[in-house]
Amino acid sequence: MPRDIPVGNGDLLITFDRHYRIRDLFYPYVGRYNHSIGHVQRFGVWADGEFAWIEDDEWEREIRYKADTLVTDVRLVHKGLELELHCSDAVDFHEPVYFRKIVVHNLADRPRDVRVFFHLDLSIAENAVGDTANYDPSTSAVIIYKQDNYFLVNCCDQHKCGIDHWAIGTKRLGGAEGTWRDAEDGKLGRNAISQGSVDATVGFNLQIPAKGEGHLHAWIAFGHAYDEVKDLNRRILETGPERMLGRTEAYWKLWCRKEPVDTTPLPEHVRDLFYRSQLVMRTQIDNRGAIIAANDSDVTQFGGDHYSYCWMRDGALVAYALILAGQSELSRSFFRYSARCIGDQGFFLHKYSPTGALASSWHPWMLDGQRVLPIQQDETSLVVWALRKHFETFRDVEFVKPLYEPLVAKPAEWILEYRDHNGLPLPSWDLWEERRGIQTFTVAATIGALNAAAAFARDFGELDRAAAFKEGAERMRGALKRHLYNEQAGRFARLAVPNEDGTYRLDMTCDSANFALFAFGAFEANDPKVIEEMRQLKEALWIKTDIGGCARYQRDYYHQIERNDIEKVPGNPWVICTLWQAQHAIEVASSVDELRKTVMPYLEWCVQRAEPSGVMAEQFHPYTGDPISVSPLTWSHSTYVVVCLHYLRKHAELTGKPMFKPAPDFATA
């Protein structure tokens, strides 16, 4: 189920499903730990003896964000209860605290006793063993804790602070469903403490006049010690939750519009998704540098694992979007994180945890009795390429200096060592992590890396290294054209598998990943071979239903929907693959009219596929358009940001108008 409205600050991430139920709580790292392990955190309302949990079908829901913020704007209507709720959720931009403001509108012409209930079903550090929940009379709050993770739950309105009801008990043991059942009669049992596999439900009373309204603020304060969360609770009360929500809203508006980019060439709805995509990306980035692929625990049920890791390929391409958007501190953090992960070996392994530890993998260290490197070489190459893009944009010499050896020179020297007799990279796993060989995507990315390393080496006065890296790039470019291009098909193979005689067996499956031919500088976008490649890819991979979009490759089996009519539906449509066509259309456009006509349909397609909140999934159902797999996917949003900024840059080139508006004069504003 999609995570419609993630909110976070880089230390704390809260995600919701489309029923407006909290599903994931990550702290103190984005991606580690998920203290809910995907279990539903319920929210319900009691009025006049009737009760409804938020997932009940009677609720009408509108789930969005406030414009240009990471503060939600949620409208909930229950005609049977005669109530309308307006909710605002946020994680404070600085402190580890989650807020929910609820304004309850009484639609009836009589005064009402309305009770709002929040249920927490935590498994602290992803394990329910040894958890404790207790009512703390000094704060009138419930505190749930284990070891160095503490969660304090509290509420207030304009008249009083502290919860009015609480229930603490056992869940999923001996037939116990959990304390949330206790709320359905409008009262809670007030058990003071419980340990083990526990949960807690808290409630708050509101007296609302006829046709009137009442409001409350609820929050969860996160910390590493009992006194720490109690002190944070005190600061919340002193500052005021409304003020903390207000400052968070202001911060995110400032953050996403910090660069004075002239976005007027984009239609308003395309522009709105551009800013929304930047904010959604930010929720998936840990403050210590890890760029997490996705934080949607529902995917765990398919393979026993999740996407809450940093793949260096995804990270590098997201970092490129951050660079274009001017978010230099975040890209710097990613490259520092990368330097910690790569160590002295000169290449990256499969993927890494938010802390930088080696993560789970399905790439073997031995195949057919032979030792192999369990790598995707494009991951190493793209970090080098992206670091050069960062440096060319920000020219931060002091920052790059300590990274030159571990993230540029050593990887580039390893790339030169890890080549075959023709100068192509030795076999590794492809970007889709499904097949091993020599991929066009990997070769093109590696050419980009060697060119980037050569430029860095020239800057640092190492002309011998610069010459070696440049020669390696040119030899590899020639080998790519000679050995992976098929004259008869008029396009490049997606994969070459070495034969024993030194030749290659080509896999000519159409694969969207071949956009890399121009994306990283291996060839010019207007090279006739590249133009024909992109034309054939679109022809073969476009979904020929009302949904449209581009598949990854022909007969894509991952979450496959259509297994028979492959010509019509070669696979499910992916955001990134669809937008790779847009990237090429931007590069070859020669007029503003051509730019608009060829590119805007791809951006409009993304707007149509996004949830009302603006969240975009990894892929979509080819017949219904419903999201499939994880949502949001950080890579989807970053690619949208890249395409929008490439579009605006090309528009400025074609019109002669500046891409950036004059910066505001803050001294006189």
Please state, in angstroms and rounded to a whole number, the distance separating the CA atoms of residues 79 and 77.
Answer: 6
Cα-only R_g, the chain? 27
Are 188 and 142 contacting, i.e. CB atoms less than 8 angstroms apart? Answer: no
Condensed to tens digits (0 to 9), the pLDDT of residues 145-203 reads 999 999 999 999 989 999 999 999 999 887 778 999 999 999 999 999 999 999 999 99
Burial of 323 (0-12, 13-18, 19+ CB in 10 A): buried
Task: Enumerate residues 6+ apart whose C-beta is below 8 A from 314.
Answer: 291, 293, 634, 635
The Cα angle at residue 451 between residues 471 and 345, in degrees rounded to 5:
90
User: Cα(619)–Cα(390) distance, rounded to whole angstroms?
Assistant: 29
Q: Can you point out the beta strands (E) in 552-630?
A: 619-620, 627-628
Residue 668: the pLDDT is 45
pLDDT in tens, 635-644: 999 999 999 9
Rounded to 5 degrees, what angle do the CA atoms 537, 539, 543 make?
Answer: 100
CB-CB contact of 87 with 72 (8 Å): yes
Taking the alpha carbons of 519, 525, 529, 532 in that order, is the dihedral positive or negative? positive
- Measure the CA–CA gap between 348 and 358, rounded to whole angstroms: 10
pTM for this prediction: 0.97
How does DSSP classify residue 409?
Answer: I
Fold category of 7-255 in CATH: Beta-galactosidase; Chain A, domain 5 (2.70.98)
Structure confidence by residue, pLDDT tens digits, 343-388: 899 999 999 999 999 999 999 999 999 999 999 999 999 999 999 9
Q: Packing angle between helix 377-394 and helix 440-459, nearest 10 degrees?
A: 40
Contact of 510 with 499, CB cutoff 8 Å: no
CA distances (Å), origin 595, targets 227, 527, 589: 58, 18, 5
Percent of the residues in the chain that have a pLDDT greater than 70, as a whole number = 98
Instruction: Give CA–CA dist 289/310, Å, rounded.
Output: 10
* Confidence grade of residue 297 (pLDDT, cut at 50, 70, 90): confident
E strand intervals along 499-613: 504-507
Q: % helix / strand / coil in the chain, to the nearest 5?
A: 35, 25, 40
Between CA 35 and CA 44, with CA 38 as vertex, the angle to 5 degrees is 95
Instruction: Provide the pLDDT confidence category of residue 664 given band limits of 50, 70 and 90.
Output: low
Query: What's the pLDDT band for 666 if we cut at 50, 70, 90?
Result: very low
The reported pLDDT for the residue numbered 302 is: 63
Q: How far apart are CA 619 and CA 460, in angstroms?
A: 43
Q: Could you give the CA distance from residue 561 to residue 555 in angstroms, rounded to a whole number?
A: 10
- Write the burial class of residue 244 (CB in 10 Å: 0-12 exposed, 13-18 middle, 19+ buried): buried
**Stretch(es) of the chain classified as CATH 2.70.98.10:** 7-255
- Among 132, 154, 140, 126, smallest CA distance to 199 is for 132
Residue 335 to residue 332: CA distance in whole angstroms:
5
Average pLDDT of the chain? 96
How many angstroms from the chain centroid is the CA of residue 631? Answer: 8
Q: Is 102 exposed, middle or buried (0-12, 13-18, 19+ CB in 10 A)?
A: buried
